[in-house]
């Protein structure tokens, strides 16, 4: 039996096929440019040739249909019939106040998700279209939704409430929800394993840094605060999002430029952050430009690291000064040594000491690494996130009737003996090219 996971964005659909019995990834892929003049698909299956092609995909319906066709394809596929798919797990951006944990999809669930669209107008329509398309293509396969916001439901009121008229919360659901929940969940539980502690005895600060970025404070194994808010716009400096800013800037600039509310929303989400400062969002491009003397590129790096450091130190205080580990994850967190370095400078005050050499050689997404000094009171880990595995396990458990909220549920990757087979294969290859990485591999204590 295999589990299919789908992550449908506004113009893309990422997917993964997981062999549940053998605990191995069979295929991954992504359809991009959905709704444009042409779409593309990139499909990679274990032991098969990589497939890249252009095709027409006006909606997510055509994208899902092609994904299924690729999975069944004689040359590139990994299954012989749809009956091999035991469940489908869908990543959903926002659960609002309606969904506190993962759930099986029903007609009623889809209608409830539509009520949450105003809280995530850029992502929720695509999430829902993907669910509807998959249900139509595979009507007899159990399907599940896994919410980005669910992990953060353990935040206390003083963390999730805003100091605005209380009726905004009761009438309009204005509160902090938090995002990247599946990533924070995975990294929190893996960090506990690496520390040799029970999840409920662990305090960690997780930095999920990609084009979108968020920090999460985890106390006794659960989320107590996070940097993103009602939407993914709040918090850190991101690739194209502003993160925290004085709200008075919004009406001030609207009055001075004549921008509409929609234009302001687009500017803050797509034209701000690193792009707004230096015109680039890819951290590799920004770092290269800074190295060549581009002052605005250097400013962008400094801004990003400054904001990160503020959140990490602030969350250390929130955790009562007892931090077991700081975790870096996602594309930039796993590969961007200069961002890790810049955000850790000065964190010696909370007991976290970055080993400069370990950090410099750690540019590999296939293993878990410890990049703190030997005498650092707070460990610093680089943990490749695995959001798809969280979705896979939730979908399987829901289909099997064994699921429970994450505070009561045990994931396979919480085991000391857990091995990601695909990642292990890639790590072996990387160790042959870069054997010095072996000295910083983080092994469960």
pLDDT exceeds 80 at position 364: no
Active site residue 375: no
**Residue among 407, 428, 431 at smallest CA distance from 419:** 428
pLDDT at 36: 84
**Residue among 427, 421, 429 at smallest CA distance from 24:** 421
Binding positions are 7, 14, 91, 208-212, 282-284, 387
Model pTM above 0.85: yes
String of DSSP letters for 214-257: EEEEEETTEEEEES--SSTTSSS--SS---S--TTHHHHHHHHH
Cβ–Cβ < 8 Å for 54, 38 = yes
| pLDDT 10s digits, 17-57 | 999 999 999 999 999 888 888 999 999 998 898 999 999 98
Q: How far is CA 333 from each of CA 14, 106, 111, 252, rounded to the nearest angstrom?
A: 21, 36, 36, 34
**Residue among 195, 204, 282, 203 at smallest CA distance from 238:** 282
Q: Mean pLDDT throughout 421-427?
A: 80
273, HSE (Cβ side, Cα atoms, 13 Å): 25
Q: How far is CA 325 from each of CA 223, 355, 359, 361, 366, rounded to the nearest angstrom?
A: 14, 14, 15, 20, 20
Please, what's the largest Cα pairwise distance for the chain? 61
Nearest 5°: phi and psi at 343?
-80, -15
Q: What is the mean pLDDT of the chain?
A: 93
Q: How far is CA 44 from each of CA 199, 226, 282, 283, rounded to the nearest angstrom?
A: 34, 34, 24, 25
Could you tell me the pLDDT band of residue 363, with boundaries at 50, 70 and 90? confident
Q: Please, what are the domains in the chain?
A: 2-147 (3.30.420.40), 196-383+419-440 (3.30.420.40)
Residue 349: which residues within 8 A CB-CB, separation 6 or more?
313
SS3 content of the chain, % helix, strand, coil (to 5): 45, 20, 35
Distance, in Å, from the CA atom of 305 to the CA atom of 60, rounded to the nearest integer, reads: 37
Binding positions for ATP are 14, 208-212, 282-284
Q: Give the position of tokens 């690193």.
A: 274
| pLDDT 10s digits, 119-164 | 888 789 989 999 999 999 899 999 999 999 999 999 999 999 999 9
The structure tokens listed for 88 are: 């489908």
The structure tokens listed for 402 are: 């064994």
Percent of the chain past pLDDT 70, that is, above it, reads 100
pLDDT at 432: 84
Q: Is 331 helix (H, G, I), strand (E, B) or coil?
A: helix
Annotated active-site residue in 24, 73, 148, 417: 148
Q: Mean pLDDT throughout 6-19?
A: 90
pLDDT at 59: 86
Cβ–Cβ < 8 Å for 110, 131 = yes
Residue 132: which residues within 8 A CB-CB, separation 6 or more?
110
């Amino acid at each position: 039996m295999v589990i299919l996971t789908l992550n449908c964005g506004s113009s893309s659909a990422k997917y993964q096929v997981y062999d549940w019995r053998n605990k191995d990834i069979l295929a991954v892929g992504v359809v991009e440019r959905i709704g444009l003049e042409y779409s593309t698909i990139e499909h990679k299956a274990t032991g098969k040739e990589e497939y890249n092609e252009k095709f027409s995909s006006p909606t997510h319906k055509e994208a899902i249909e092609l994904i299924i066709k690729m999975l069944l394809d004689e040359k590139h596929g990994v299954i012989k019939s749809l009956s091999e798919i035991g469940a489908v797990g869908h990543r959903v951006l926002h659960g609002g106040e309606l969904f506190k944990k993962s759930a099986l999809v029903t007609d009623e669930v889809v209608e409830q998700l539509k009520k949450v669209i105003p809280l995530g107008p850029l992502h929720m329509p695509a999430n829902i279209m993907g669910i509807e398309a998959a249900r139509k293509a595979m009507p007899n396969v159990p399907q599940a939704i896994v919410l980005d916001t669910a992990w953060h439901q353990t935040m206390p009121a003083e963390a999730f409430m805003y100091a605005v008229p209380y009726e905004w919360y009761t009438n309009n659901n204005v509160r902090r929800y938090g995002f990247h929940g599946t990533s924070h969940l995975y990294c929190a539980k893996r960090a506990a394993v690496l520390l040799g502690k029970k999840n409920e005895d662990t305090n960690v600060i997780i930095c999920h840094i990609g084009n979108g970025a968020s920090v999460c404070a985890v106390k006794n194994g659960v989320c107590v605060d996070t940097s993103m808010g009602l939407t993914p716009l709040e918090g850190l400096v991101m690739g194209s999002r502003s993160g925290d800013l004085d709200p008075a800037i919004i009406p001030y600039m609207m009055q001075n430029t004549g921008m509409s509310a929609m234009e302001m929303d687009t500017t803050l989400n797509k034209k701000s952050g690193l792009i707004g400062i230096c015109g680039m969002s890819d951290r590799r491009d920004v770092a290269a430009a800074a190295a060549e003397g581009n002052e605005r590129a250097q400013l962008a790096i400094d801004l990003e690291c400054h904001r990160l450091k503020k959140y990490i130190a602030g969350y250390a205080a929130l955790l009562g000064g007892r931090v077991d580990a700081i975790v870096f994850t996602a594309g930039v967190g796993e590969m961007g040594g200069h961002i890790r370095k810049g955000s850790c400078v000065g964190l010696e005050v909370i007991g976290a000491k970055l080993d400069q050499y370990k950090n410099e050689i750690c540019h590999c997404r296939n293993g878990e690494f410890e990049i703190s000094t030997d005498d650092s009171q707070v460990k610093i880990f680089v943990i490749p996130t695995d959001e798809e595995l969280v979705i896979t396990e939730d979908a399987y458990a829901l289909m099997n009737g064994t699921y429970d909220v994450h505070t009561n549920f045990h994931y396979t990757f919480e085991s000391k003996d857990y091995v990601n087979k695909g990642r292990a294969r890639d790590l072996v290859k990387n160790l042959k090219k870069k054997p010095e990485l072996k000295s910083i591999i983080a092994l469960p204590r």
